[in-house]
Structure 1
Amino acid sequence: MRQPDIEIYLKDADQEAVTAWLNTALGSCTPWQQKGQTFKCLAGDVPVTWLPKAVGKWHSLYLESDATPWEDDLGCARAAFAALGVEIRCAPGGWQEAQGEEDADRWIKVNAEGEQEIIWRTD
């Protein structure tokens, strides 16, 4: 089932490289508008939020639409890794608060070694 939005975390990713990838994957990006710590743009018709160093060295990329080429976070993570060559982390599926705290720490990392489910405590 298609997720209503997508969020992935990119390790040490360069914003310019991410912008180039978004241009290719989603359509031409508008210039980034900084709002506090975050940056926002439109990639094609998709509102995008970039939060540098959201968790340590990890940058958050949030796509606020279900109109992307990817069904879910993992599909986007795979594409981002293939294009950028940096480790990507994402939730293993949509997470709801009702699922409890333990499930909130379950993540999938995508890197040169493949895909692996991990426990990542982000707080």
Structure 2
Amino acid sequence: MTPDIEIYIKEADFAAVHAWLVSAIGTGSEVIRKGQTQQCTLAGIPVMWTAKAAGRWHSLWLQSDNTPWADDLACATAASAALGVPVRCVPGSWNEADGEATADDWLEVKDGSANPITWRI
């Protein structure tokens, strides 16, 4: 398990993402909107949505290691399948201590497969 999950979803509507998360995780608190960010807690998991965090890509951050998905790729695969849109994630855990060498290495999940890409956000 990873300490948290962050994926980037292309051109998705938060209402659809929220409905998918409720079906996958469970219900929770009311959604609070602050500018481009929407936050809630679903089944005890803090969820943060940032619209257009990187161009047409929206950030979805699940701030817990207690999600139904083992890692970012598993979540990205499930999100892409459920929402029918491309989803991007890092190929494994990354933090600033790892340096810049692999910071642009991402996976893009679409049409049921994950492919490595270089993404400079």
Q: TM-score, normalised by structure 1?
A: 0.94
- Runs of 4 or more above 3 Å deviation: none
CA contact (8 A) 1:19 1:29 kept: no
Is 1:102 the counterpart of 2:105? The answer is: no
Q: TM-score, normalised by structure 2?
A: 0.95
Q: CA RMSD in A?
A: 1.1
Is 1:16 the counterpart of 2:15? The answer is: yes
Shift of the alpha carbon at 1:16? 0.9
Shift of the alpha carbon at 1:113? 6.1
For residues 73 and 49 of structure 2, the distance between their equivalents in structure 1, rounded to whole angstroms, comes to: 18
Identity over the aligned pairs, expressed in percent? 54
CA offsets per residue over residues 75-122 of structure 1, 9 Å max, x none?
100110111111000001110212221211000000016210110000
Q: Secondary structure at the match of 1:54?
A: strand
How many correspondences in the alignment? 121
Match of 1:47? 46
For residues 116 and 74 of structure 2, the distance between their equivalents in structure 1, rounded to whole angstroms, comes to: 15
Match of 2:2? 3
Match of 2:33? 34
CA offsets per residue over residues 13-69 of structure 1, 9 Å max, x none?
111110110110110142210123311001111100000000000000000001101
For residues 77 and 27 of structure 1, the distance between their equivalents in structure 2, rounded to whole angstroms, comes to: 18
Structure 1, unmatched stretches of 5+, are none
Task: Answer with 35-44 or 15-24: which moved more.
Answer: 35-44
For residues 39 and 114 of structure 2, the distance between their equivalents in structure 1, rounded to whole angstroms, comes to: 29
Structure 2, unmatched stretches of 5+, are none
